[in-house]
Amino acid sequence: MDALAGTQIVGDYWYTWAGSISSTEQVGSTTIHTGYAGVGYGGNNGFIADGTAAGLQWDDSPSTSGAGAYGLSNSHVAWSQCSDYYPYSTSDSLTVNKPTMTGYDAVWFLGATGQSQSGYANITYETAHTNCGASDTCTDTPSWTATGNTSEISFLCNPCAVQTVGGVARSNTFHDIQLVVSIGGFSSDPLPFTVYAPYELTCCNMTSNSAFFDGFETTVTLTLYDRFNDPLVGLAYNESFTATLIPDYAGLSGWGQPTAGGVAGGWVGSMGDKMGAFDGTGGSRCTTVANPHCTHPQSPLSTTMAMHNNQSWQVGNSIVGYGLQVRTDTQQFYVDHALYTYPVGPTQP
């Protein structure tokens, strides 16, 4: 961008006049140039071929000096050998706009590319706005760049006017990615961006009660959080177990493996996981001829271990074993109660 300021005197007696120019260029309230140029009678130090001329010229790159309202304020003076004196002022302005973008500053990652759920979209859309003036030559297609932890996101297209941003890994730091849209060499201000994800499943508040049949039912309260310690609701979830139960009691028999399952969109901030052993159907049952036989909770609780199995929790999908793993632990069954032991959370980025 060129800023030109000058005082020019033409006419039959131009060589009997002298002149000067004082000029200031600003972007908004910030001064980027100021200068003075003067010539004597019949002089010419400007950029004009004819007449007495004093001139200034500055070249700027708006991508460096910034967008905004550029203003040029000039004070001119012309005086002659006959003591004529003419001061006057001029000004000019030009607005330079940056490209901008509109859209959300975050997206979700639920454990697999393309996996999404209502309220937890794994893609979002950013729309480029060139902000070109009516007389501008502005035909380039916007291009997109990202800095920071760029491996956490994907771009669907480039160049393009509307960008689809996908989440492919969890952000561990808030606003750890910056998105920029550019057109014709001019870049927007960075948009700070975050990939949210379910992160950790905490417990416990374990309570053990007598089952309707002979045996027990232990309930564990679980709460789901994202990486920034905000509780999450409404997500699908599932649990999975090792293929077979692991005996802890010599001659174990009659104890059943818990059945894994999932719930679509049922997370309500906290939920209860039930671990049971009783005569009858459902849960991890022990038959009437089980060895050892399960009992109602004793006081104090028994230290006799029957069996255990390894458990994993996934969020974002109701299909067993799918989604983002947020916790692993061991379900330890005693003859009169159950416990979580060896919890690890989270276990998957």
Domains of the chain, start order? 2-96 (2.60.40), 100-196 (2.60.40), 199-344 (no CATH)
pLDDT band at 158 (very low <50, low <70, confident <90, very high): very high
Beta strand pairing call for 324-334 and 305-315: antiparallel
pLDDT of residue 197 exceeding 70? yes
| Cα–Cα distance for residue pair 185/63, rounded to 1 Å | 7
Count CA within 13 A, CB hemisphere, residue 12.
0
Q: Hey, what amino acid is at 103? A: G
- Residue 225's pLDDT is 92
| Cα–Cα distance for residue pair 115/117, rounded to 1 Å | 7
pLDDT tens for each residue of 239-297: 999 888 899 999 999 888 888 888 887 666 677 788 888 876 555 678 778 899 998 99
Task: Look at residues 175, 159, 201, 210 and name the one whose alpha carbon lies nearest to residue 344.
Answer: 201
> What mean pLDDT is reported for the chain?
89
Adjacent-strand bridge partners of 322: none
Considering only CA atoms, give the Rg of the chain: 37
| Cα–Cα distance for residue pair 6/34, rounded to 1 Å | 13
Task: Look at residues 17, 11, 23, 12 and name the one whose alpha carbon lies nearest to residue 40.
Answer: 17
Instruction: Give the CA-trace dihedral at 105, 110, 116, 117, to 10 degrees.
Output: -100
DSSP conformation class of 152 = G
The residue with greater pLDDT, 203 or 14, is: 14
CA distances from 297 to 9, 193, 204, 257 (A): 107, 51, 18, 20
Is the whole-model pTM more than 0.85?
no
